[in-house]
Amino acid sequence: MESAHRPAVRIICVDADGRVLLLNWQDPIDGHRLWEPPGGGIDPGETPLEAARRELTEETGLDPDAIDPDFLVVERDTIWKGRRMVGPEQFFAAAYPAVTPHIAREGLLPYEQADLLGHAWVHPADFPALPDDLEPPALGEILRSTSRFGTS
């Protein structure tokens, strides 16, 4: 299995009731299913914050201006499309005043639409009850670390 560093970002979206938005993906190579916050790769010439805003818009349709420009660097180690992705990833936070804001994922390409099984707004206490893997596994700890962003 190939090991690769992937410059990428994630956005921890929190609603008015403290639920976190998680996307449920199915790996197109091996069928592995996981939940993770919205996000993705940083394009050449793009800043991490610009990438976070673009990815959030594409994957959720939520207001990207809600993203706090501060971030927390998290070491990731995950497998996607048959490749092991290892390296630091910047986690941003975005707080929304509504309860479970509406999600629209029209910005995704057709193959991404096929890989994205759905989404859920989940209370951190309910992370262990998710039917598939949570990625990163330490997301609850990351949430506690981002309390300065208003996500505790």
Greater model confidence, 138 or 1: 138
* Residue 2 near residue 80, CB atoms below 8 Å: no
Q: Band of the pLDDT at 137, cuts 50, 70, 90?
A: very high
- Name the residue with higher pLDDT: 23 or 111: 23
Alpha-carbon distance 14 to 67, whole Å?
11
pTM: 0.90
Q: What is the pLDDT of residue 93?
A: 95
What are the structural domain ranges in the chain? 3-149
pLDDT digits (tens, 9 = 90+) for 62-100: 999 999 999 999 988 887 777 888 888 999 999 999 999
The residues pairing with 93 across neighbouring beta strands, listed in sequence order, are: 12
Asked if the 3-149 domain carries CATH number 3.30.540.10, the reply is no
Please name the residue ranges forming H helices in the chain.
Answer: 48-60, 110-115, 139-145
